[in-house]
Structure 1
């Protein structure tokens, strides 16, 4: 059987992989195991416990030092991943390595595989997020990867414009939407009991990550968000920030907000299916997470997208873009809560796909020839337009 090593470095990508892993399990041609690193192995959230409780096979764990303090810690962690995988790939060589997105840990995983000529399959290439250094890592992974699974036609065309041969590129759609279509999501009551929430009134679901191209502004940005939120008499459910530099500052401010505001909560880790159920229950999404652009449209939920972190991504009609300023955020949330805006989303189509990404991805993994043509990448020059 063809062995697929799937790299997972945090709660977000693990949830996206869920239906892909299930479909590989059902394939007579493929088997998979997980390379687990990054935030999965930190004490906060401890999301590797979710992987273990799901019974997913783990091939290798790579613990990292703390990365939310400053930029140097992220660089050091990148090196730790590469060194650890030099040893692992010397012993165990998968047939295909699967990576996703734009995290610095994912970049390190892909870079470690290059000297071993391991075919790399990349999900969510071709996208833009100008406000984050992740933008650089995503495009670097594209140039290291041998197979590309793009969420939209526009993103696929961008991958080809980067010189990737068209036969390597598949428009799969966003795999997270497969969970929306297929997964059995917990009920409102189950969410309340599991996380100690009160959801009788629909809450704002808030996720705010560091904007890594603007490290000096993190304190000002989170203060602006919390200032705006404090003006609404609506429950607020925060999810924890990611492990980038500045995350500790955001976490501290959110903790202070929750300690003095009734009907506000900080949940370290919902898990993929619980988070989707929270999207279903939310009155609006607020912050700068990609989930507000990719998953939220499937639930017809408004998204107030703050600042530059998601700048450049395709948007559905649910997205209200605002700068990281208190008054602008306040007005954006007002719009999201208004009935006319909410009614306008009734017939909205999610531009990120139809919920059949996993079958398209696994079909390619089963059929692609693992030969010299796959490994020895050429550079595709698009025909000139005259």
Structure 2
């Protein structure tokens, strides 16, 4: 049996990995080793390891490394602790392959430990660009430490190859997050209030705003601008999820906590909704607004408009349902007004999600189980003229 380790450090990442984890766990040819750490272990972010346990997956490593600090020094120390945890976990479990998704600093620490231990890495969602974040450098660094690559679009696949990776080890299977939209039985609109313990008696807007890690204040002023614009829509309720544990993330949490206090009946602010409730709410909302990748990747599958603010996702492919704008009040206001218009909503109904149709996880798992791993650890840089 092939021992395949999968690492997850955040609620969103786990949702994207869910069907991959499930398929690996059910395969008779795989010994699944689930490494769980980071935000999953933090009560401040919902202690979401309980959701993983409730799903029935075997957790072999519980990795405590996330400090209660989001300063640059605190994040760097968390990375150091994650590297130590990863080295020890890999030594104990001795996996044949490690699966990582995305661009979080925790994942880079796992990749570093795997590289030193000569364990091959399979990386999902490489080749993408997010110009406002340290994630840009992290993602490409993980690509160079990885051996199998699962890109979400053809353009991202080409970019991975441009980074010198062998063409035959780079696959475009689409985004695994779309799989949940296809496979899950989503909650009906009339059942959502009881599912989230919040009365939905008006049209609602979903809001997720993460720190912009290459900006000194994490984009706190931009979040305030967004909330000021949302105040102009009192006839809409707001479903707001917590930001990630990124640099300056707690500044945003403080702003959101204060906003919730002033808008008790209109605002639901949650640490984590989980994949089922999050996608179900997305399906019926008027618009998704903020700077989360889910607005670009998952939301278009519902034909729901997205207002993507600022630089956090700059450079990432967005479909025709996505409206990009700067962080000023006027530009956010203009984009939101357009997104809520009948004309744009009608236009969204004829669009296609560029990230695939929901068969990604099955195709990824097939490669994880069957791709030959002998000699894969020895990598040669492929120059573009050699391809």
Spell out, residue by residue over 1:239-267, the C-alpha distance to the aligned partner (whole angstroms, 9 max, x if none): 01110121111111111112112411101
2:258 to 248, 256, 259: 256
C-alpha displacement of 1:188: 2.5
Spell out, residue by residue over 1:349-377, the C-alpha distance to the aligned partner (whole angstroms, 9 max, x if none): 000012110111011112111211x1101
1:334 corresponds to 2:337:
yes
Q: How far apart, in 1, do the equivalents of 2:34 and 2:260 lie?
A: 35
Aligned to 1:285: 288
Task: Give the aligned CA root-mean-square deviation in angstroms.
Answer: 1.4
Deviates more, 1:93-102 or 1:187-196: 187-196
Task: State the aligned residue count.
Answer: 384
Spell out, residue by residue over 1:135-161, the C-alpha distance to the aligned partner (whole angstroms, 9 max, x if none): 110000000000000000110000000
Instruction: Please list every run of 5 or more consecutive structure 1 residues that lacks an aligned counterpart in the other structure.
Output: none
1:243 to 242, 245, 265: 245
1:381 corresponds to 2:383:
yes
Aligned to 2:315: 312
Please tell me whether the aligned partners of residues 67 and 243 of structure 1 are also in contact (alpha carbons under 8 angstroms). no
Instruction: Please list every run of 5 or more consecutive structure 2 residues that lacks an aligned counterpart in the other structure.
Output: none
Q: How far apart, in 2, do the equivalents of 1:138 and 1:384 lie?
A: 24
Give the secondary structure class of the aligned counterpart of 1:186: coil
1:220 corresponds to 2:221:
yes
Please tell me whether the aligned partners of residues 183 and 273 of structure 1 are also in contact (alpha carbons under 8 angstroms). yes
Aligned to 1:201: 202
C-alpha displacement of 1:314: 0.6
Q: How far apart, in 2, do the equivalents of 1:200 and 1:22 lie?
A: 36
Q: How far apart, in 1, do the equivalents of 2:291 and 2:218 lie?
A: 14
Normalised by the length of structure 1, the TM-score is 0.97
Aligned to 1:86: 87
Q: How far apart, in 2, do the equivalents of 1:277 and 1:320 lie?
A: 22
Q: How far apart, in 1, do the equivalents of 2:38 and 2:218 lie?
A: 24
Please tell me whether the aligned partners of residues 40 and 49 of structure 2 are also in contact (alpha carbons under 8 angstroms). yes
Q: How far apart, in 1, do the equivalents of 2:88 and 2:272 lie?
A: 31
Give the secondary structure class of the aligned counterpart of 2:168: helix
Please tell me whether the aligned partners of residues 4 and 97 of structure 2 are also in contact (alpha carbons under 8 angstroms). yes
Deviates more, 1:244-253 or 1:190-199: 190-199
Give the secondary structure class of the aligned counterpart of 2:43: coil
Give the secondary structure class of the aligned counterpart of 2:110: helix
